[in-house]
Amino acid sequence: MTLPSFVGRRRAPDPLHGGAAREAAPAVPVGKISWRTRAKADRSLLIMVLPAVTLLVVFAYVAMLGNVIAWENYSPYTGFLHSPFVAWANFARVFSNPLFLDAVRNTLSITAFQLVFFFPIPIVLALLLNSVMSPHIRTVIQSVVYLPHFFSWVLVVTLFQQMLGGAGLVSQTLRHNGYAGFDLMTNPHAFLVLITMQSVWKDAGWGIIIFLAALGTVSPELYEAAAVDGANRWRRIWHITLPALRPVILLLLILRLGDSLTVGFEQLILQRGAVGPGVSEVIDTYVYYQGVVNGDWGYSAAAGLVKGVVSLALVLGANKVAHLFGEAGVYQKA
Amino acid sequence: MSGQVPEISLDAAVQPVEITPTRAGSQTGAPVRRRRRSKYRPVWEEEPTRLGASGKAVILTCVVLVVVFPLYTVLLTSVSTTAETTRAGGLVTVPGELTLNAYTQILSGGVVTRAVLVSVGITAVGTLLSIVVSVLAAYGLSRPGSFGHRPILFIFLITMFFGAGLIPTYLLVSSLGLIDSYWALILPGAVSAFNVLILRNFFMGIEPAVIDAARLDGAGDWRILAKIVMPMSRAAVAVVALFYGVGYWNAFFNAILYINDNAKWPLQLILRSYVLQGVNLGGGTGSVDVVHGAVTGLPLQMAVMVLAVVPILLVYPFVQRHFTKGVIFGAVKG
């Protein structure tokens, strides 16, 4: 998830929109245009934004206010306003609950595992694909590897079950040839491997898109000059391609770190039953089960809020680190 | 040779000069066979080694097969007879006796048919709503210096960094009385700030002179959006519509949360229950008529999987070519 870097960016004032009026001390006095006039001038733009803002206000901001139940002993019958206030009791329970800490541990180990075994794959794939000369072949491969990104997690997990499950194709073939079959889908010890394989299958192809775009910006003359100077294929990759990818790699890495607490919720909740919560319970699934399933609303809201706040801090911190590395980061200060 | 104009290939003129055209080198009579040089390979680049080239080909073929093969077996099994799956002991990999019974069976009314209709309806209504609201918001925020665009932009931005959390959102939706309503599957996620920003960025990339010219000719913002901006942004709108559409089509967890009534389940939930969790589609509720079906079990399940993929496969080719046009990356880099 990356967003454009417009926060704080100064744009040229647009005289048609009274933009000049906001400049602190215009060299040519424009005359102060009242906000009423400007709002009226931009009336249609404001009307256009209204539906989206309304939806966001209701389903993001009003919902955000619902987090007050983290400080309440909330019950749906008494409601937000009349449930007893319990101060930080829910948070205290969150941090002292071994199940929550297990969920945190699972979340972090999944993130770490995927950072090592998932993250590099799109880079390698992009390099491979970039070296394919024929644009037709390249387009075909690209279309094929992007495709699983658009499949639902239900479908992906079901496909894996059909291939690698106990009655899956691989087991079936093994048994047919006199070997013992296996069931990867219900084995808690192999769960990390399984979900990483699923993530790779679904999203590694899509992951190359950003690297290919970065590779596309490298001037071919650099390669030519290097080749003329006697740099072989590998040296060209090392000295031209990889440095060109460096900002993107670094940015994505930092973003992923900032997003450490979020791992595939839908993917995991689909398989929680098969492998058990011991290995598959992550923070998000924990919040769901404690809240919606067990009805411990205030407590689960507190757990969710802790995750949200820590995630926010991580993302902002990650962005700061990106700046330290001299990269653009997700957003920029002016 | 009678009267035929010798064909002059333009390609030949452009083609890089072969560096080693010395076929005369083979003085023994038998012509030395040279590998054809790819016409896309720049002159300065060395030919890949035979090992390197074949290694690359093998890897890329494997990558493509890993994506395509599971889909192929699923599709093949869905059109195979039950006898064929019994013979294969599971999924069918070699085409044998084919039948479309599985499809006629699940589409002739019943659980799956209803779920398909629900999913199609939600996807159609949801995508339309989302794209209209997002395009309007994106345009409303894309005019530099317009009244209040910066605070409004922040309303969008914040939702990307801090979500309300699962529990408060659930409680909000339920207190709005949307439980068991299809709107619960549409409204909470109808606006994605990220998609709005992709569109906004694309709109901002449009040459301001074009828009200013239209404005001087008396066109208002609505007309500019409809007549100038939209026609120029088809690719971006198509990609964002795909993102939204795929999101609606693939969503299953919101239905777990908000839809208690099985009769209102979307297809992904049917897929999860009847295929992933292996609840028998043929029996029980009598929703699927097994009487006239020569097909049960596996082919039926695989047919449900195919149904879950088909809409994506139908839309994908039309939108896929836009991915490479930098719609996404352009937005990403701001």
Question: With an 8 Å Cβ cutoff, is A2 touching chain B?
Answer: yes
Do A124 and A226 have their domain in common? yes
The predicted structure's pLDDT at residue A333: 44
pLDDT at A231: 87
C-beta of residue B148 within 8 angstroms of C-beta of residue B297 = no
Q: Among residues B110, B116, B118, B77, which one has the least CA distance to residue B291? A: B110
Q: Quick one: pLDDT at residue B182?
A: 95
Query: Does the residue A206 lie in any domain?
Result: yes
Distance from CA of B1 to the nearest CA of A (A): 34
**Residue A155 at interface with chain B, using a CB cutoff of 8 Å:** yes
pLDDT over threshold 60, residue A24: no
Residue of chain B minimizing CA distance to A201 = B67
B7-38 pLDDT tens trace: 444 443 444 444 444 444 444 555 555 556 67
Selecting from A13, A53, A227 the residue whose C-beta is nearest the C-beta of B145 gives A13
| More confident position, A7 or A100 | A100
Identify the helix (H) or strand (E) that includes residue B137.
Answer: helix B111-140
Within this chain, do residues A7 and A95 fall inside the same structural domain, yes or no? no
Specify the pLDDT at position B65: 95
CA-based nearest residue in chain B for residue A46: B140
Is residue A219 in some structural domain? Answer: yes
A22 and A93 both lie in a single domain: no
pLDDT digits (tens, 9 = 90+) for A230-273: 888 889 999 999 998 888 888 888 888 888 888 889 999 999 98
Question: Minimum mean pLDDT among A20-24, A157-161, B45-49: which range?
Answer: A20-24
Task: Using an 8 Å CB-CB cutoff, list chain A residues near B56.
Answer: 128, 131-132
- Say whether residue A113 is in contact with chain B using an 8 A CB cutoff: no
Domain interval for residue A23: 1-41
* Best residue in B146, B159, B222, B300 for a mutation probing chain A (most A CBs within 10 Å): B146
Regarding whether A308 and A232 lie in a shared domain, the answer is: yes
The predicted structure's pLDDT at residue B285: 39
Q: Does A208 touch chain B (CB under 8 A)?
A: no
Give the residue, A2 or B187, on which the prediction is more confident: B187
Q: Are B172 and A43 in contact (CB under 8 A)?
A: no
| Least confident interval from A109-123, A179-193, B196-210, B280-294 | B280-294
CB A266 within 8 A of CB A197: no
pTM of the predicted structure, to 2 decimals: 0.83
> Which stretch of DSSP H or E encloses residue B77?
helix B50-78
Taking all residues of chain A, what is their mean pLDDT, rounded to a whole number? Answer: 84
Residue A76 structure tokens: 């749906």
Lowest mean pLDDT among A73-77, B191-195, B226-230: A73-77
Contacts of B172 in chain A (CB under 8 A): 58-59, 62-63, 66
Closest chain A residue by Cα to residue B278: A158
- In this prediction, residue A7 has a pLDDT band, given cuts at 50, 70 and 90, of very low
- Using an 8 Å CB-CB cutoff, list chain B residues near A55: 133, 187, 190-191
CA B212 to chain CA mean position, Å: 35
- Asked, for residue A53, whether it belongs to a domain, the answer is no
Domains annotated on chain B, with CATH: 52-99 (no CATH), 104-333 (1.10.3720.10)
Test A291 with B272 for CB contact under 8 angstroms.
no
Give a yes or no: residue A285 inside a domain.
yes
A5 touching B, CB under 8 A? Answer: yes
The DSSP symbol for A118 reads: T
Structure-block tokens of residue B184: 């619960």
Q: How many domains does chain A have?
A: 2
Residue B287 has a pLDDT of 39
Mean pLDDT of B52-78: 92
A157 and A13 belong to one structural domain: no
Q: What is d(CA A306, CA B183) in angstroms, rounded to the nearest whole number?
A: 29
Asked if B320 and A140 touch (Cβ cutoff 8 Å), the reply is: no
Residues A163, A36 share a domain: no
Long-range contacts of range A276-281, CB-CB < 8 Å, 24 or more positions apart?
A276/A188, A278/A102, A278/A188, A279/A106, A279/A188, A279/A191, A279/A192, A280/A106, A280/A188, A280/A191, A281/A99, A281/A102, A281/A103, A281/A106
How far apart (Å, rounded) are the C-alpha atoms in residues B318 and B235?
10
Question: Given a cut of 80, is residue B329 above it in pLDDT?
Answer: no
For residue A110, tell me if it sits in a domain. yes
Share of chain B above pLDDT 90, in %: 46
Using a CB–CB cutoff of 8 Å, tell me whether A11 touches chain B. yes
Q: Tell me: the pLDDT tens digits for B96-125? A: 888 888 899 888 888 889 999 999 999 999
Contact A201 B67 (CB under 8 A): yes
Q: Average pLDDT, whole number, for chain B?
A: 81
A9 pLDDT tier (thresholds 50, 70, 90) = very low
User: Best of B62, B166, B318 to disrupt the A interface by mutation (most A CBs within 10 Å)?
Assistant: B166
Q: Hey, is the C-beta of A176 within 8 angstroms of any chain B C-beta? A: yes
In angstroms, the CA B270 to CA A290 distance is: 25
ipTM for the predicted complex: 0.83
pLDDT digits (tens, 9 = 90+) for A267-293: 999 999 888 888 999 999 999 999 999
- Taking contacts as CB-CB distances below 8 angstroms, the residues of chain A near B255 are none
- Partnered with residue B80 across adjacent β-strands are B98
Residue A213 vs residues A135, A150, A198, B240: alpha-carbon distances, Å: 15, 20, 25, 18
Q: Is A247 domain-assigned? A: yes
Interface test with A, best of B167, B176, B265 (most A CBs within 10 A): B167
Rounded mean pLDDT of A32-39?
Answer: 82
Searching chain B, which residue's CA lies closest to the CA of residue A226? B44
Of the residues A41, A58, A73, the one at which a domain ends:
A41
**In the predicted model, what is the mean pLDDT of residues B51-75?**
92
CATH of the domain at A284: 1.10.3720.10
Rounded-to-integer distance, Cα B47 and Cα A238, Å = 19
pLDDT at site B332: 43
Q: What mean pLDDT comes out for the span A32-54?
A: 88
Q: Do A33 and A133 reside in the same domain of the chain? A: no
- Assess whether A112 and A176 both reside in one domain: yes
Is A82 within a domain?
A: no
Distance CA A231, CA A96 (A): 59
Instruction: Give the distance from residue B98's alpha carbon to the nearest chain A alpha carbon, in angstroms.
Output: 19
Q: Do A37 and A93 belong together in one domain?
A: no
**Which of B130-139, B164-173, B307-316 is predicted most confidently?**
B130-139
Distance CA A231, CA A304 (A): 53
Asked whether residue A3 falls in the same domain as residue A104, the answer is no
**Is the pLDDT score of B180 beyond 60?**
yes
User: What SS3 class is residue A53?
Assistant: helix
The whole-number pLDDT of residue A175 equals 86
Q: Is residue B223's pLDDT more than 70?
A: yes
pLDDT, greater one: B229 or B49: B229
Residues A154 and A93 in one domain: yes
Confidence check: pLDDT of A17 > 80: no
pLDDT tens digits, A183-223? 888 889 999 999 999 999 999 988 888 888 888 888 888 98
Does A331 fall in a domain? Answer: no
Same-domain status, A148 and A19: no
pLDDT at A38 > cutoff 50? yes
